[in-house]
């Protein structure tokens, strides 16, 4: 951030009185611009015994498969965000069932919240950010080309719970070293943006 979004004057990075962390502070109008973690919300869309995955049309990890998820918007609930993202990326209508997994990614100041969701009907199509959308049985999941560690983790935990016959709420911290370890050889060779899970 270079300029104040309130008055347009230059901002300076400094620790405000009574605070403990550096913030962008406007000397002209004295506004403190706080920057806080972003919440990324998505779901596991389920139709019978199959899961809906989207093949990314955008970087990072273009061409890799992911679950529908994206940044939450102001004024919506987490469930609405998951439903909206699923429609935007996969043109699928879902009913949100329950929160399933929460991942902290403090190295990039993001939090991922994934829901379980039921597809209302087996209709879907690629949205703007997807090259392809498809339903997969567990044995058909393209593990070698899953886009992100959080998505792989979510899917693995989902299938484990489903086999056990009951769903838990999963909670984990994901660090940068976990991301590298989780990538398949094919994923490591692909052009990658280091700042995305
Ligand atoms: Zn200002």
Looking at the domain assignment, is residue 196 inside a domain?
no
pLDDT (tens digit, 9 = 90+) per residue, 64-75?
Answer: 999 999 999 999
Both 5 and 76 in a single domain? Answer: no
53 neighbors 40 (Cβ within 8 angstroms): no
Both 21 and 94 in a single domain? Answer: no
Q: Is the peptide bond before 60 cis (omega within 30 degrees of 0)?
A: yes
Model confidence band, residue 189 (pLDDT cutoffs 50, 70, 90): very low
Looking at the domain assignment, is residue 120 inside a domain?
yes
Pairing type for strands 50-56 and 38-47 reads antiparallel
List, as ranges, residues with CB under 5 A of the ion ligand 1: 4, 6-7, 9, 26, 28-29, 31
Both 114 and 185 in a single domain? Answer: yes
Looking at the domain assignment, is residue 5 inside a domain?
yes
Return the CATH number at 92: 3.90.79.10
Pick the closest to residue 69 from 37, 102, 47 (CA basis): 102
| Total domains in the fold of the chain | 2
Give the Å distance between the CA of 10 and the centre of ligand 1: 8
* Helix (H) or strand (E) segment spanning residue 12: strand 11-14
Q: How many other β-carbons are positioned within 10 Å of the β-carbon of residue 31? A: 17
Given a cut of 80, whether residue 180 has pLDDT beyond it is: no
At 30, list the tokens: 């004295």
Both 27 and 45 in a single domain? Answer: no
Give the Å distance between the CA of 13 and the centre of ligand 1: 13
Greater pLDDT, 105 or 184: 105
Determine the pLDDT at residue 70: 97
Given a cut of 80, whether residue 177 has pLDDT beyond it is: no
Both 2 and 58 in a single domain? Answer: no
Place of tokens 């056990």: 164
Both 85 and 182 in a single domain? Answer: yes
Give the Å distance between the CA of 37 and the centre of ligand 1: 22
**Residue 1 sits in which domain range?**
1-35
Average pLDDT, integer, range 170-188: 63
- How far, in Å, are 26, 28, 40, 109 from residue 3 at the CA level? 8, 11, 26, 22
Determine the pLDDT at residue 192: 40
Model confidence band, residue 149 (pLDDT cutoffs 50, 70, 90): very high
Model confidence band, residue 176 (pLDDT cutoffs 50, 70, 90): confident
pLDDT (tens digit, 9 = 90+) per residue, 119-143?
Answer: 999 999 999 999 999 999 999 999 9
Residue 18: which residues within 8 A CB-CB, separation 6 or more? none
159 neighbors 67 (Cβ within 8 angstroms): no
Both 156 and 178 in a single domain? Answer: yes
Question: Whole-model pTM?
Answer: 0.85
Both 99 and 54 in a single domain? Answer: yes
Looking at the domain assignment, is residue 129 inside a domain?
yes
Model confidence band, residue 178 (pLDDT cutoffs 50, 70, 90): low
């Amino acid at each position: 951030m270079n300029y104040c979004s309130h008055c347009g004057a230059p901002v300076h990075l400094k620790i405000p009185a009574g605070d403990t962390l550096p913030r962008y502070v406007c000397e002209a109008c004295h506004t403190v611009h706080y920057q806080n973690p972003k919440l990324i919300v998505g779901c596991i869309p389920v139709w019978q015994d199959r899961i809906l995955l989207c093949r990314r049309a955008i970087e990072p990890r273009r061409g890799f498969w992911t679950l529908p998820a994206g940044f939450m918007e102001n004024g919506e609930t987490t469930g609405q965000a998951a439903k909206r993202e699923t429609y935007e990326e996969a043109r699928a209508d879902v009913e949100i069932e329950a929160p399933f997994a929460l991942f902290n990614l403090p190295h990039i100041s993001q939090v991922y919240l994934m829901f379980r969701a039921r597809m209302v009907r087996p209709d879907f199509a690629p949205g703007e950010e997807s090259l392809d959308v498809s339903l997969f049985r567990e044995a058909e999941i393209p593990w070698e080309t899953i886009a992100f560690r959080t998505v792989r983790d979510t899917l693995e935990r989902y299938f484990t719970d489903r086999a056990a016959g009951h769903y838990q709420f999963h909670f984990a911290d994901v660090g940068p070293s976990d991301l590298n370890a989780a990538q398949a050889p094919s994923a490591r060779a692909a052009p990658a943006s280091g700042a995305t899970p």
